[in-house]
Chains A and B, each alone.
Chain A
Amino acid sequence: QSVLTQPPSVSGAPGQRVTISCSGSWSNIGAYDVHWYQHLPGTAPKLLIYNNNDRPSGVPDRFSGSKSGSSASLAISGLQAEDEADYYCQSYDSSLSGGVFGGGTKLTVL
């Protein structure tokens, strides 16, 4: 079981907006930054959002992040077929003294 909880799957039609949640606790998301990754099969994960809501250069502004309390969310607007991938949240956990990932969410573009 992952320390950070994500829904196993979400889906949406092209052009729609979807959100992926990441639920934690006071010892991780409640105290530390959250980062999000996009992972396509056979490739290395790609950093999408860092420090809760910042985008690395080159990441479209269709991707946005937010955090409130011990939960965080990734929003993807204007869904495109190429957004179909697995998405992971990551944070630090003071009780475990290390990094933690969510279990991952598979996004299907209908």
Chain B
Amino acid sequence: QVQLVQSGAAVKKPGSSVKVACTASGGTFSTFAISWVRQVPGQGLEWMGGIVPIVHTTKYAQNFQGRVTITADESTRTAYMELSSLLYEATAVYYCAAATETVPRPPGAAGLDYWGQGTLVTVSS
């Protein structure tokens, strides 16, 4: 059984960066297609980007291009999402999620069958 555990809540100042970790247990981490999804209060789910470690493929949503960096460390089974130049509007819950098909598709193409618990990032001065 796959479990994803995310790092704890963070409070950041405008203009700074935040890095959220997502550690997986169970399954074959390198073949996961890991996506990062956020939900701004009162709004819907938004796909930010994703990574497939085994093929070193990373994709980013156009809204986040240049401001988000997604990486994965296979040795620690941990994926990271770093968002820079934070604005107040970046206050949101950030989720990592994994598609665990045997043959991975590009990030964002497969159904996300396992989710982390979410990490609240608050941007405040």
Contacts and interface: CB of A to CB of B under 8 A. Distances in A.
Contacts of B116: 44
Interface residues of B, number: 27
Interface residues of A, number: 27
A100 B37 CA distance: 10
B53 interface: no
Interface in A41-87: 44-47, 49-51, 56, 86
Nearest to A32: B109
A56 B115 CA distance: 14
B47 A99 contact: yes
Interface stretch (B10-18, B59-67, B72-80, B83-91): B59-67
A104 B47 CA distance: 13
Interface of B: 35, 37, 44-47, 49-50, 59-62, 95, 97, 105-113, 115-118
6 contacts: A44-B115, A45-B37, A86-B44, A92-B106, A99-B61, A99-B107
Interface of A: 2, 32-33, 35, 37, 39, 44-47, 49-51, 56, 86, 88, 90, 92, 96-104
